[in-house]
Amino acid sequence: MGTAARGRGRPPRLSRDRIIAAARTVAPEDLTMQAVADALGVDRKSLNYHVSDRQGLLELVAFDAFDAGFRRVVVPERDDWRELLHLFAVAVVDVLVQVGVLISYVRFDGKAGLSALAVVERIVATLVGAGLSPGEAGRTLKLIAQIAQAAAREALDAGHGPIDAQAAAVSRTLYGTEEFPLLRAIAGAHDADALIGRQFQFDIAVVIDGLQRRLENRCGAPPDDDQPAQA
């Protein structure tokens, strides 16, 4: 009973979840270690056990937002690795767009929640079953994540609108000149297509086609990870 009495009235123990919850109450542009400490009513230094600086804090909040979004993702069961890879790429783009302004702080460095790990494990297993090594499968997913992040940035920069910001910039630069006809044609095609995801679809198709060719040319040879290093 004495122990309970001593514990009564003490503030809740500081935790990663409490830090994230407090950080969510602060606008991203105002998010600092001190702002979170003030929201929690604790000394700034007490946050250092969980996060060391503002960069780490922003990454922590961004990762939590990404993981929370990914928990709502449903990637249907597919035996075809090409279709599964495409579905995964689209899902990552959608979640990153939901993360919004914190997208710059999402790091694909091996950290993931259990929900994301379950999806990644299934995709890796499918790629390995198709003939890739685990290392090749892992590098493929890292490449897909990078492509998805670029596509999500493009969508966010355009405000979810139909304008391709890069193509618009090229059009403005080349306006009134007859030079660089191919670049003007590319920029004009972007404006006409009005599809912010056209580059993303192209990139994913190139990756899938390249992997398909790689597997076809392997002809029974061991995956790259199993081949001896060249001197």
Cβ partners under 8 Å of residue 133, min gap 6: 222, 223, 224, 225, 226
* pLDDT, mean of residues 61-87: 83
Q: According to the model, what pLDDT value does residue 103 have?
A: 87
Using the structure block, give the residue that is written with the tokens 């009134």.
Answer: 176
Indicate the pLDDT class of residue 143, thresholds 50, 70 and 90: very high
Domain membership flag for residue 188: yes
Token duo for residue 43: 């000394």
Indicate the pLDDT class of residue 115, thresholds 50, 70 and 90: low
Residues 189 and 174 placed together within one structural domain of the fold: yes
**If DSSP codes are grouped into helix, strand and coil, which group holds residue 83?**
helix
Residues 140 and 99 placed together within one structural domain of the fold: yes
Average pLDDT, the chain: 77
Domain membership flag for residue 34: no
6 has pLDDT over 50? no
Residues 182 and 135 placed together within one structural domain of the fold: no
Residue type, 79: D
Q: According to the model, what pLDDT value does residue 144 have?
A: 93
Residues 132 and 203 placed together within one structural domain of the fold: yes
Residues 97 and 207 placed together within one structural domain of the fold: yes
Domain membership flag for residue 57: no
Nearest by Cα to 31 from 10, 51, 13: 51
Residues 203 and 107 placed together within one structural domain of the fold: yes
Handedness of CA 135, 198, 92, 51 (dihedral sign): positive
Residues 103 and 207 placed together within one structural domain of the fold: yes
112 has pLDDT over 60? no
Tell me 41's DSSP state: T
pTM above 0.85, yes or no: no
* pLDDT, mean of residues 191-213: 79
Q: How many CB atoms lie within 10 A of CB 74?
A: 7
Domain membership flag for residue 190: yes
Domain membership flag for residue 92: yes
Domain membership flag for residue 38: no
7 has pLDDT over 80? no
How many domains does the structure of the chain reveal? 2
168 has pLDDT over 60? no
Q: According to the model, what pLDDT value does residue 163 have?
A: 39
Name the residue range of residue 154's domain.
71-158+197-211
Rounded Cα gap, residues 73 and 112, in angstroms: 14
More confident residue, 188 or 29: 29
| Percent of the chain scoring above 70 in pLDDT | 69
Q: Give the ranges where the chain is alpha helix by DSSP (H).
A: 2-7, 16-23, 33-40, 54-70, 81-99, 114-130, 134-157, 165-174, 181-193, 198-218
Residues 120 and 181 placed together within one structural domain of the fold: no
Domain membership flag for residue 48: no
Longest C-alpha distance within the chain, in Å?
A: 87
Residues 169 and 182 placed together within one structural domain of the fold: yes
**If DSSP codes are grouped into helix, strand and coil, which group holds residue 171?**
helix
* pLDDT, mean of residues 50-79: 84
Residues 175 and 142 placed together within one structural domain of the fold: no
